[in-house]
A and B are shown apart, each in its own frame.
Chain A
Amino acid sequence: MTVIKGLARAEQIYQDREKRAKELKAEGKKIAGYLCCYPPLEIMTSLGYMPIRIMGEMDEPLTEADTYLPTVMCAFYRSVLDVAMKGRYDYLDAFIGAHACDGAERVSYVWRSYLKSPCSFYLDIPHTNHAAAIEFFKKQLFYLKEELEKTAGKKATAAMIKEAVTLHNKQRSLVRQLYELNKQDPPLVSGSEMLQVMIAIMCIPPEEGNVLLEEVIEEVKGRAEGPKKKKGRILIWGSLIDNIAFTKLIEDCGLNIVIDDTAIGTRSFWIDVDETEDPFDGLAIRYLDKIVCPRTFRDTKNTRMEDLDNRFSYLKKMIKDWNVNGVYMNIIRNCDIHGYEISEVRDYFEEMGLPVLVIEQDYSTTALEPLRTRFQAFAESIN
């Protein structure tokens, strides 16, 4: 029997995202589903929970969501609740909602009102990175740990959490290594492959994810048939893409996706957790302050330029290091936190001389085809 490894394995997991979780559950392992990139994985892992990222489904027509959520809200979170109400996440032992944004917050509330998991926790997340906010967030993480402990049947010691930090930091380091390979031209990993790997490692235990990442890195380093050289080397900015139909459409139009600043991508993995004496310090700082997402307000600086750099200079570095020549700003319709940022980020990229394409999309694969012309024209406009 041949063992499926590397990219093929990632694709397999991507196609059937809950499969591994359900297998492990059958073996007695507990599964914790969480929203967005803010609930610390280390706490779940240390208590023997396998963390799985809750996602929507672009291919699935919304049939249940309208009963619970109005049409004007975030298309992604509508889909999340839609598939959840259809039973996709019924097997979860713990549901961890989060105040990542209004959409995540309110969906957490509505979810909990109808779907009752043995353990259910709503993680409040402050809006600023002030010292008091980090302290408060740390306390909330402590409550999360205590709630999970009730159903885990064990207590998480500092040593156990530190061990989980090391494990997840290793994953982060491997993800960064993989992205590094896209600095070359053509990149070694296509945007669609990268997305499959990112989703895969969010749906299997971190140990297995690390093995998968190592396999993928080895595989793509040695392969001849990687992505072709294309005119565009683009960065995707925005909340998230979780379906390769989207990345394939983009890459069909003469663009290579070489790097991203999205929540199912670098935002979830870019920064390590510091190995602090009290592990909750490292966790609170990393998850509240170091993850860069427009949902966290950063105090205004003295000048406009300082303020923009304080918020966006990491993008400048990504553009330079990955030799990016175009930016696609992906806005899921009705996303407030990214919506207000459009003009600011667009101008910031344009100041760097980069062509920028902004699309507000509806999080539905059936609505993708009309976007082809825009990506094509965008590719034609890149020099």
Chain B
Amino acid sequence: MIFAGIDIGSTITKVVIKQEEEIRAIIIQPTGAEHRRLAHEVIKKALNNADVTFDQIDFIVATGYGRINVPFADAQVSEITCHMRGVSWLFPNVRTVIDIGGQDCKGIKVVNGKIRNFIMNDKCAAGTGRFLEVISETLGLKLEDIGEISLRSNDPAGISKTCTIFAEQEILLRLSEGVSIEDILAGLHKALAGRIYSMVGKIKIEKDVVITGGGAKNIGLCKYLEKRIGFSMLTPPEPLITGALGASIIAQEMVTKAGEEKLAHIKKERKLEAVTFFDEAD
């Protein structure tokens, strides 16, 4: 049987198509303003890559903050549960998941593949990928480079602010004082790691720790975070897709639980051409 998980995040949309234990296709692309239109496009692309038709997909679970806008999904599950399932599948011994997304940051405590506790910040950009984005823009650097650069520092600058706006001003101040970019970036990553650590610490960080989301791709952030935690973290081969992967696994579980003959009841009326809201959007 074939299952799909679609994760519409605030900045990136991900799709995973899975057949039994094999991942048939992965799609990662920026989220547009119109989730539904995009959802249609990405799933088409994923179907193409996996070489399957829409009808061949037995069950689709949508997650992420745009999950309610996926009209052809059979079920919606929160991204917290999906991330946890995706990570547990990849790392069965995981106890703590730290997910650093574009607009939020989550900590999930896992015991035997079940959520024991979780925590989430969404009050402001501090502690999220957005913080790093703003910083790289301020410094005129590429987002993917700043982690690497921060590791070249031997003397991280004192950055006390994790409020994005204040930090921007502080960076400019440090630059005017002649502090090097490496040291500034090191200071920023250190400050961000501190902020994430104190937030996730509320659910008590225990081994194994897996880091996911865009933040996991920033080697500087990972290093400073590991320093704060006191041991190393694990990173999935593709840290962006754990939510979509989890959604596809949950899709499979839902079908198993219901039994194939009852599948029809769970499955909502959905057809590929149902995604004709292009007209609606125009």
Contact = CB atoms under 8 A, between A and B. Distances in A.
The answer to whether A and B touch in the complex, with CB atoms under 8 Å apart, is: yes
Interface of A: 355-356, 358, 370, 373-374, 376-378, 380-381, 383
A373 B65 contact: yes
Contacts of B117: 355-356
Given A373-B78, A373-B80, A381 B120 contact: no
Nearest to B76: A376
B116 A355 contact: yes
Contacts of B11: none
18 contacts: A355-B116, A373-B78, A373-B79, A373-B80, A374-B78, A374-B80, A374-B118, A376-B77, A377-B78, A377-B80, A377-B81, A377-B115, A380-B77, A380-B80, A380-B115, A381-B115, A381-B118, A383-B114
B120 A374 contact: yes
B120 A373 contact: yes
A330 to B, nearest CB: 15
A383 B79 CA distance: 18
Contacts of A373: 65, 78-80, 120
Nearest to B68: A372
Contacts of B115: 355, 377, 380-381
A145 B172 CA distance: 62
Contacts, number: 35
Given A355-B117, A373-B79, A377-B78, 10 more contacts: A355-B115, A355-B116, A358-B119, A370-B122, A373-B120, A377-B81, A380-B77, A380-B80, A380-B81, A381-B116
A381 B109 CA distance: 11
Interface of B: 65, 77-81, 114-120, 122
Contacts of B65: 373
Contacts of A378: 118
B119 to A, nearest CB: 8
A251 B79 CA distance: 19
Given A373-B65, A374-B120, A381 B79 contact: no
A252 B279 CA distance: 31
A347 to B, nearest CB: 11
Contacts of B80: 373-374, 377, 380
B81 A381 contact: yes
Contact of B114 (A358, A374, A381): A381
A373 B121 CA distance: 12
Contacts of B79: 373, 377
Question: Interface on chain A toward B: helix, strand, loop, or mixed SS?
Answer: helix
A373 B81 CA distance: 10
A351 to B, nearest CB: 14
B116 A380 contact: no
A212 B150 CA distance: 66
A355 B77 CA distance: 18
Nearest to A356: B117
Max chain B C-beta neighbours (<10 A), residue from A355, A374, A376, A381? A381
A315 B120 CA distance: 26
B78 A380 contact: yes
A126 B114 CA distance: 45
Contacts of B77: 376, 380
Contacts of A358: 119
Nearest to A253: B78
Contacts of B119: 358
Contacts of A356: 117
A356 B77 CA distance: 19
Which are the 8 A-B pairs with shortest beta-carbon distances? A377-B80, A381-B115, A377-B78, A376-B78, A380-B81, A373-B78, A370-B122, A377-B81
Contacts of A355: 115-117
A25 B65 CA distance: 49
A377 B122 contact: no
A370 to B, nearest CB: 5
B87 to A, nearest CB: 14
Nearest to A342: B202
Nearest to A369: B65
A346 to B, nearest CB: 9
A377 B203 CA distance: 15
A377 to B, nearest CB: 4
B149 to A, nearest CB: 33
Max chain A C-beta neighbours (<10 A), residue from B78, B117, B119? B78
Contacts of B120: 373-374
A381 B119 CA distance: 13
A86 B65 CA distance: 36
Nearest to B79: A373
Contacts of A381: 81, 114-116, 118
Contacts of A374: 78, 80, 118, 120
B84 to A, nearest CB: 9
Contacts of A380: 77-78, 80-81, 115
B100 to A, nearest CB: 16
A374 B108 CA distance: 11
Nearest to A375: B78
Contacts of A383: 114
A358 B118 CA distance: 9
A340 to B, nearest CB: 15
Contacts of B118: 374, 377-378, 381
B112 to A, nearest CB: 11
Contacts of A377: 78-81, 115, 118
A377 B78 CA distance: 5
A358 B120 CA distance: 10
A358 B122 CA distance: 14
A331 to B, nearest CB: 13
A355 B115 CA distance: 9
Nearest to B250: A380
A370 B106 CA distance: 14
Nearest to B103: A370
A363 B118 CA distance: 22
Contacts of A370: 122
Nearest to B114: A381
